[in-house]
């Protein structure tokens, strides 16, 4: 658990997540045995925590697994309007209200709040899954492009016909089960299994 907005806007969640990671390292857990993962805002938190670890000179986790990550609090992605009618889960107005609570007055393009605007160099390999029909599609696409440009190994998987965090529909949705199978395969590759 980490502190949540609106009572605790950014960077409270990042502070908490980094503190947990530091505690794991101090307890003797090896970073190459750790993968950061998150969906939606948790995906943004996973990227932001990795960036903080990098910037503080901490060893980085083995990889990042991101499901429909929300990484642009400026809501400037093309999909915010182009796919607004396709996503049954999220709306622009919902995103606008949630981001205002999260930001607490901070600039929405601040890389600490919106990792899509950060320098991603040096981050570990990423698996990004995003639904074809989701309003946050551009967040994932732009994050993948920025990561590749920064020399980060990144796999972007688009769930055909899927919406925001469709993976949560496992085990009843076959496409969600397939997404988790691909996550498992990615994790196994990272650990050399």
d(CA 129, CA 68): 6
Active-site choice (68, 133, 134, 146)? 134
Active-site choice (79, 114, 133, 164)? 164
Beta strands in the chain (DSSP E): 35-39, 63-67, 126-131, 154-159
User: What is the CB neighbour count within 10 angstroms for residue 61?
Assistant: 25
146 is annotated as an active-site residue: no
Beta-bridge mates of residue 64 = 36, 126
Active-site choice (40, 68, 114, 140)? 40
29 is annotated as an active-site residue: no
Helices and strands (H and E) in the chain: how many: 6, 4
d(CA 70, CA 63): 18
40 is annotated as an active-site residue: yes
Can you tell me which residue has the tokens 């991603």? 120
d(CA 45, CA 69): 9
d(CA 49, CA 60): 10
Contact 147, 155 (CB under 8 A): no
| Catalytic positions | 40, 134, 164
């Amino acid at each position: 658990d980490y502190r949540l907005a609106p009572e605790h806007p950014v960077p409270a969640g990042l502070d908490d997540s980094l503190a947990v990671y530091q505690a794991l390292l101090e307890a003797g857990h090896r970073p190459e045995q750790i993968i950061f993962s998150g969906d939606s805002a948790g995906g943004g938190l996973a990227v932001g925590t990795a960036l903080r670890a990098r910037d503080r000179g901490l060893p980085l986790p083995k990889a990042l697994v991101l499901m429909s990550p929300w990484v642009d609090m400026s809501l400037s992605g093309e999909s915010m309007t182009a796919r607004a009618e396709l996503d049954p889960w999220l709306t622009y107005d919902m995103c606008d209200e949630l981001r205002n609570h999260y930001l607490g007055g901070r600039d929405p393009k601040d890389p600490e709040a919106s990792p899509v605007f950060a320098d991603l160099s040096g981050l570990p390999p990423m698996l990004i899954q995003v639904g074809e029909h989701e309003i946050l599609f551009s967040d994932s696409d732009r994050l993948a492009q920025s990561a590749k440009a920064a020399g980060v190994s990144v796999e972007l998987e688009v769930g055909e016909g899927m919406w925001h965090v469709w993976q949560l529909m496992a085990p009843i949705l076959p496409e969600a089960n397939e997404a988790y199978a691909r996550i498992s395969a990615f994790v196994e590759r990272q650990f050399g299994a």
